[in-house]
Amino acid sequence: MIPLQRFPVEPWHVREIGLDLNLLAQSESVFALSNGHIGVRGTLEEGDPSGLPGTYLNSFYEQRPLPYAEAGYGYPESGQSVVNVTNGKLIRLLVDDETFDMRYGQILHHERILDLRAGLLRRVVEWESPSGRIIRVRSTRLVSFTQRAILAAHYEVEAVNGATRVVLQSELVANEDMPRQSADPRVSAILERPLDPQLHSNSGNRSMLIHQTRISGLRMAAAVDHLVVGPSNVSAHSYIEEDWARTTAGTKLEPGETLGITKYVAYGWSSQRSLPALRDQVDAALSAVLHTGWHDLLAEQREYLDEYWDGADVEVGGDPAVQQAVRFGMYHVLQAGARAEQRALPAKGLTGTGYDGHAFWDTEMYVLPVLTATAPRAAADALRWRHSTIELATERARTLRLKGAAFPWRTIRGQECSAYWPAGTAAFHVNADIAVAAARYVQWTGDDEFERQCGLALLVETARLWMSLGYHGNDGRFHIDGITGPDEYSAIVDDNIYTNLMAAENLRQATESAKRWPNEADALDVEVDELNRWMAAADTMAMPYDHELGVHQQYRGSTEHEVWDFKASAVEDDYPLLLHSPYFDLYRKQVVKQADLVLAMHWRGNEFTLAEKARAFEYYEALTVRDSSLSACSQAILAAEVGQLQLAHDYLIEAATMDLQDLEHNTRDGVHVASLAGSWLALVCGFGGMRDYGGVLSFAPQLAPTMTRLSWSVRWRGCKIRVQVSPTDVTYSVDDGPDATVEIRHSGQLIALTTGVPVTRSLVKVEPLTPRPAQPAGRAPRSIAPQ
Amino acid sequence: MIPLQRFPVEPWHVREIGLDLNLLAQSESVFALSNGHIGVRGTLEEGDPSGLPGTYLNSFYEQRPLPYAEAGYGYPESGQSVVNVTNGKLIRLLVDDETFDMRYGQILHHERILDLRAGLLRRVVEWESPSGRIIRVRSTRLVSFTQRAILAAHYEVEAVNGATRVVLQSELVANEDMPRQSADPRVSAILERPLDPQLHSNSGNRSMLIHQTRISGLRMAAAVDHLVVGPSNVSAHSYIEEDWARTTAGTKLEPGETLGITKYVAYGWSSQRSLPALRDQVDAALSAVLHTGWHDLLAEQREYLDEYWDGADVEVGGDPAVQQAVRFGMYHVLQAGARAEQRALPAKGLTGTGYDGHAFWDTEMYVLPVLTATAPRAAADALRWRHSTIELATERARTLRLKGAAFPWRTIRGQECSAYWPAGTAAFHVNADIAVAAARYVQWTGDDEFERQCGLALLVETARLWMSLGYHGNDGRFHIDGITGPDEYSAIVDDNIYTNLMAAENLRQATESAKRWPNEADALDVEVDELNRWMAAADTMAMPYDHELGVHQQYRGSTEHEVWDFKASAVEDDYPLLLHSPYFDLYRKQVVKQADLVLAMHWRGNEFTLAEKARAFEYYEALTVRDSSLSACSQAILAAEVGQLQLAHDYLIEAATMDLQDLEHNTRDGVHVASLAGSWLALVCGFGGMRDYGGVLSFAPQLAPTMTRLSWSVRWRGCKIRVQVSPTDVTYSVDDGPDATVEIRHSGQLIALTTGVPVTRSLVKVEPLTPRPAQPAGRAPRSIAPQ
């Protein structure tokens, strides 16, 4: 875990003072830069020491066999792993005759700042070499949001205490050596030397390396150019080999003099384009950015972010730690989605190799709701990516002997990569998650063209999947048996309420969409009778309930099972349980890894009364161990809804500081994008009480005891709706986009909101129906906020 | 499938006339010889062509890594695979200048006979070489029941149509080339060149090869000696290399003259003994058998079998195909168990590499009931083997976070080798199967010493397992959730009735045994309170019942699930379903691979009324597809009990001819020992109605329409009880062992049976309560008997 004081609380910065070599990998994830297309971990320029070196290109992967000691029907034969591509960050420094290395000499000052408004990673070092020479290094790094192919860095060394001979070596390195990963089954396998060299060329200080993966056959190019600024006597030259290019600049600096290098790196990859086409593409990108220049590149970056924050920022008064954390979270959400452009949004974004670089359902259920409200174009792109894989999904459904489309549980390119069948052939809720995300996007944006081209097909094919998965039982209800819901401590269950309600919504939205687009529906062979069957299934969907306990069941019969021995687990420090217990035992007992029924009560909350929510929240709180990073934010949302505001705040802090405090002990493998997005959800859907049931935006704001103010915006059908909450009042306004009247609800009450005319209403407090619910022993929220 | 006419119906022989090269592998399994210690497949002496060459030593295995694309807690890291050891069967023949090979020249006559009374495999060939030379070959092969280390063969070639130069080459070959196996996940991986040479030596015509496996480090020795008999001018010499020894004898034969060779092969293996010790052991075994000589070795074999058949034979009047098949079955049961001597009895015996050579629960539930009644010493040995692995089982229980002992789902040596967690960490019924088999053995034999030394510990540690697996629910019943029962088309279910009732019996027997052996129980830390808890759990064991349908549920809620679309599966020829459907779909629907509730109704039938049995049998017949070879015999038993005698007979034929007709299409990998034993169970427990509930032997004989007579014996507490059934009467007698009075039941009525005083009673017919139950489309019993 990262010590609480490591990143001091500041509103727009994540600042690290000093350098803890034991936490290098974690800080590489926290300080990772990405635009959704390129991702570079926050490794020190000099490369050594490092935690987990990493440079990634979205969807650039290698294929690998999936071994099975006992194979079964429908198991995927090969998987996909994100590949560490050519490293363009590297700048080594020689000071007199000694290598600049944080493990030797003395660090007089070390500071790194992730600037959330400027979109830059800055570093300042004052270092005394083992022989007593003092230098100052300042660097700035960015991955451009405006020039998608570009990573750029400025690096400057200054002599401090006497004439100093300095040599800068700027490098491109392919097939870097990688450290071994842990034995945790969730931590992905590492691929060694994945890149076959295809071309290396150099001209002046511009170099290029082109490589290809061996099995997936993807080709990538990295090109670099340099501007060197220093005293007149600077010499610079370049050298290149197959896996490696170096530009060297050296000089002698008098105290106060500096040697600087500006480095532009352009990346590109393709599964189809020829080598010359790819070569020219990255060369052009380099020429473009050189034409822009460093100063304007930074200005573009700031401008892009200003626009983002204008719609995406949540202001939290009286709660500086949450304020910083939610901004850090929203910055990483943007980094994951900004320029992915019809590629997957992986669970770790492009910040590490965790989960092999795969995308899961949390993209649709945690990240896209946030992007839909704050950066809708990125949301559309992510959904268009899903749509682009629909043929793979229909093929997969056929393999599983089902109708419609079955999207993968985990993937990079679209093929199912899960080697664990209770997930890969049973966690079907991912399909409803995708479909409902598409419907939500259409509802929020009114993007008809998207609906016509992509949304309808996503909804129709997933609706067909549900019809082939479920059946009408003798009780007249529609049942979906033998599937796996969100909670990974149960599997292969019947009538998981989350899945059932999401499937029902999927079926309803599919029906409505098909009615809106009759010609397109016709082209998909949708028949009227089919729509009737969809609605009949949706309307009779089973929702198992325990009448004795008076609580909904996460799945049919769930509440009849033995309750996990939480006391024993606390005593034996058995968390996360999946590393200390066999699946069969987790699955058969009442123990919940992550919000499941509680998640259903957030997204399909109109299917439950407030009393039912309060009762269920209390019941499942006692069973939920949060061994998943997806849980805290959802628990925060329900806690707020049922009036448990302090508990909601505790969960909010856990979700928001997941990576800043390394709460899951695996931030080294990349940040938890879903949990970071979840901190926005916890504030906006939790404390803000925002819902969109039935296509009407509703709010029911409340503040945590410490909060003095909460305000945020969402983009809704071209407008920007702004909500400002004080301890007593809520003010709504529409202050962007076309003149419009938007109907919203404030704590149940309809308000017709007109552009430019703010409306203020009293805040309506929710009285909790239960005492503060208790968690399993030792599993209360990790709510200690940084100071 | 093997054509129906392939093995003509004869009472004591399995005879093959002609040679179908496409069925070589199947016939190698059918004609495999074994004594439980050595197993040799029925490969032609000349080695080529062959199906699957194979020579096995019980529990001689190689360890291999078990790969997982996504590993989980408690998954075993390495597996065990049976190894094809040094082949001692090989005798090649040169006829003039042409190799004796069934693929060339012309087969004038080819006949193989497995003689079930003599314990021999005989072969007669008349062959015309491509150049027109005719010879006659006669061979006899045996694996000795009386000299455990010995494989012996006599081989004789006779010139028929002119002076013929013949050369015999008798070989030992280690690390034979093996063919690739199918993609069926159930077919085990083949290990290539598993044996490292350690010693090869030769003296005269005696040769020896010693090898060791690489990872498991097991050492084996094979030694051979020869007697050559022929015209005076026979020359013989031997040659040896690391993996290979050859003795050559050649001569010129005039028509009518023969050249003969008698070959003795001795095998031994050890994980501990030194190389010289092993060398001397097999050399001594060779010397012993040479001293015995061929004639006496055959006589010993016959004598051993006479005694076996005296107690084990079932005579079936009017049903010659069943008569032959049940004897074939009982012969293979003996071969599997006779001299295993505290080693595992694998599912395929030592007849092939199917299931990697692993032993499963079917040993205890299908094979041991038969051996207990017919060859009790072999049953005791098998149970002593389980007891010898109890430390591994307690260790495994600890790994699974359970108390007591958790025996492996599949293993050779005792370590869990299942890489499929729903079996390897959930099919706990194997533990009750073992415990109840031990209790049954004690009940039948009165072997107190076994109970004291082994039985008690097996019962106590498995009882403890059940207590840690189950719990008392709010309904006051004892529940066992989240486990896998016998039916492999459901998994991870709650309250599987078979498991629950077997666990209850386990708990009761453990309690009684602990009371019988208080000091020994004390040494196992058994406390009085513990016994009370065991009995409380046993007495309140949950038995889920569907009140609407009026039928027991295979597991809690099973009857609520969707019924499998059997019609579609029949149309698409989707059997076995597991090769065409994903697990999740099989598991969530009503489709039964193999008898499960029906199996419970046989072994724990006193917990059900006859009406309940008839109802359940009818209900589950419609769901049971018999994709497992373990099913038909159990269905036969229940069918007979509920008066469905023709159906029982149909299932009997399927069970009994499983391998003679290759009904499962995998006899090539070895015979189905459990199903073969099951043919005895189908006759004796099915038509004979034999049960042992509560320690009283009971019978309720009935005959199938075609049967004129049925008689069998069982060994019971040192006596031999004989039952002879005619269409109208049943005669019981005690005609062996000490003078005794045995209390038995005849169709419910108590009889005190005294040695030497037969009792005859009228046969009591059971009227069926339902029409003949229907099976899923296309899954009626494969009941066409051979002619």
Give pLDDT tens digits for A678-699. 999 999 999 999 999 999 999 9
Rounded CA-CA distance A562/A425 in Å is 27
Rounded CA-CA distance A69/A79 in Å is 16
| Nearest to B217, CA basis, from B194, B243, B188, B189 | B194
Closest chain A CA to residue B396: A582
Which residues are CB-neighbours of A79 under 8 A, at least 6 positions away?
A63, A64, A65, A66, A356, A417, A419, B69
Closest chain A CA to residue B470: A562
pLDDT tens digit sequence for A24-68: 999 999 999 999 999 999 999 999 999 999 999 999 999 988 888
> Taking a C-beta distance cutoff of 8 angstroms, is the pair B495, B502 a contact?
no
Both tokens assigned to A487: 């909670």
Coil, strand or helix at B208: strand
Q: Which residues of chain B lie closer than 8 angstroms to A74, CB-CB?
A: 581-583
Closest chain B CA to residue A74: B582
CB–CB contact A68 B72 (8 Å): no
Both tokens assigned to B304: 């051993």
**Model's pTM, two decimal places?**
0.94
pLDDT attached to residue B2: 59
Closest chain B CA to residue A564: B471
Q: How far is A70 from chain B (nearest CA, A)?
A: 6
Q: Tell me which residue in A79, A481, A482 faces B69 most closely, judged by beta carbons.
A: A79
Angle at B147 between CA B142 and CA B150, to 5 degrees: 50
Q: How far is A344 from chain B (nearest CA, A)?
A: 22
Provide the 10 A C-beta neighbour count for residue A132: 11
Both tokens assigned to B178: 């093996």
Rounded CA-CA distance B69/A188 in Å is 10
Which residues of B are designated catalytic?
Answer: 488
pLDDT attached to residue B187: 35
Q: CA of A317: how far to CAs of A704, A721, A784, B706, in Å?
A: 10, 19, 18, 91
Q: Tell me which residue in A425, A583, A589 faces B421 most closely, judged by beta carbons.
A: A583
Q: Tell me which residue in A69, A473, A588 faces B482 most closely, judged by beta carbons.
A: A588
| Nearest to A117, CA basis, from A350, A392, A306 | A306
CB–CB contact B582 A70 (8 Å): no
Both tokens assigned to A787: 């100071």
Q: Could you report the predicted ipTM of this complex, rounded to two decimals? A: 0.93
pLDDT tens digit sequence for A191-207: 678 899 999 999 999 99
Q: How far is A476 from chain B (nearest CA, A)?
A: 12
The residue of B478, B483, B585, B586 whose CB has the most chain A CBs within 10 angstroms, and thus the best one to mutate to test that interface, is B585
CB–CB contact A72 B583 (8 Å): yes
Q: Which residues of chain B lie closer than 8 angstroms to A584, CB-CB?
A: 421-422, 425-426, 482-483, 492
CB–CB contact A400 B587 (8 Å): no
pLDDT tens digit sequence for A109-121: 999 999 999 999 9
Rounded CA-CA distance B359/B413 in Å is 9
Strands A150-159 and B106-115: unpaired
pLDDT tens digit sequence for A725-762: 999 999 999 987 778 899 999 999 999 999 999 999 99
The residue of B66, B418, B488, B584 whose CB has the most chain A CBs within 10 angstroms, and thus the best one to mutate to test that interface, is B584
| Nearest to A558, CA basis, from B485, B497, B557, B477 | B557
Which residues are CB-neighbours of A516 under 8 A, at least 6 positions away?
A451
Coil, strand or helix at B154: strand
In order, the DSSP letters of B586-630 are HHHSB-BSS-SHHHHHHHTGGGS-HHHHHHHHHHHHTTB---STT
Q: Tell me which residue in A66, A491, A561 faces B481 most closely, judged by beta carbons.
A: A561
Q: How far is B418 from chain A (nearest CA, A)?
A: 8
CB–CB contact B583 A425 (8 Å): yes
pLDDT attached to residue B323: 97
CB–CB contact A557 B561 (8 Å): no
In order, the DSSP letters of A303-350 are HHHHHHHHHH--EEET-HHHHHHHHHHHHHHHHHHTT--SS---TTTT
pLDDT band at A184 (very low <50, low <70, confident <90, very high): very low
Share of chain A above pLDDT 90, in %: 93
Which residues are CB-neighbours of B513 under 8 A, at least 6 positions away?
B439, B442, B451, B455, B456, B459, B460, B521
CB–CB contact A69 B419 (8 Å): yes
Q: How far is A426 from chain B (nearest CA, A)?
A: 6
Coil, strand or helix at B676: helix
Q: Tell me which residue in B185, B425, B583 faces A421 most closely, judged by beta carbons.
A: B583
Rounded CA-CA distance A782/A784 in Å is 6
pLDDT attached to residue B179: 72
The residue of B583, B587, B593 whose CB has the most chain A CBs within 10 angstroms, and thus the best one to mutate to test that interface, is B583
Q: Which residues of chain A lie closer than 8 angstroms to B73, CB-CB?
A: 578-583
Q: Which residues of chain B lie closer than 8 angstroms to A421, CB-CB?
A: 582-584
Q: Identify any residues that bridge with B65 across adjacent strands, giving them in sequence order.
A: B78
CB–CB contact A582 B74 (8 Å): yes
Mean pLDDT of A567-578: 96
Distance from the Cα of residue B605 to its chain's centroid: 24
In order, the DSSP letters of A721-753 are EEEEE-SSEEEEEE-SSS--EEEEEETTEEEEE
Closest chain A CA to residue B580: A73
Q: How far is B490 from chain A (nearest CA, A)?
A: 10
Rounded CA-CA distance A242/A244 in Å is 6
pLDDT tens digit sequence for B701-732: 999 999 999 999 999 999 999 999 999 999 99
pLDDT band at A2 (very low <50, low <70, confident <90, very high): low
Which residues of A are designated catalytic?
Answer: 488
Q: Which residues of chain A lie closer than 8 angstroms to B581, CB-CB?
A: 73-74, 401
Q: How far is B296 from chain A (nearest CA, A)?
A: 47
pLDDT attached to residue A338: 93
Which residues are CB-neighbours of B182 under 8 A, at least 6 positions away?
none
Q: Which residues of chain B have pLDDT under 70?
A: 1-5, 180-191, 783, 785-787
Element (H, E) at B246: strand B244-253
pLDDT attached to residue A94: 97
pLDDT attached to residue A786: 64
> Taking a C-beta distance cutoff of 8 angstroms, is the pair B415, B76 a contact?
yes
Residue that has been written with the tokens 């003599």 in this structure: B118
pLDDT attached to residue A180: 60
CB–CB contact A400 B585 (8 Å): yes
CB–CB contact B474 A548 (8 Å): yes
CB–CB contact B73 A420 (8 Å): no
Both tokens assigned to B735: 């005609």
CB–CB contact A425 B492 (8 Å): no
Closest chain B CA to residue A568: B401
Closest chain A CA to residue B557: A557
CB–CB contact B584 A421 (8 Å): yes
Give strand ranges (E) for B54-181.
55-57, 61-65, 78-82, 91-95, 98-99, 106-115, 120-128, 134-143, 150-159, 164-173
> Taking a C-beta distance cutoff of 8 angstroms, is the pair B93, B113 a contact?
no
pLDDT tens digit sequence for A362-386: 999 999 999 999 999 999 999 999 9
Angle at B735 between CA B734 and CA B736, to 5 degrees: 110
pLDDT tens digit sequence for A607-658: 999 999 999 999 999 999 999 999 999 999 999 999 999 999 999 999 999 9
Q: Tell me which residue in A185, A471, A557 faces B70 most closely, judged by beta carbons.
A: A185
Q: How far is A79 from chain B (nearest CA, A)?
A: 9
Coil, strand or helix at A281: helix
CB–CB contact A584 B557 (8 Å): no
CB–CB contact A578 B491 (8 Å): no
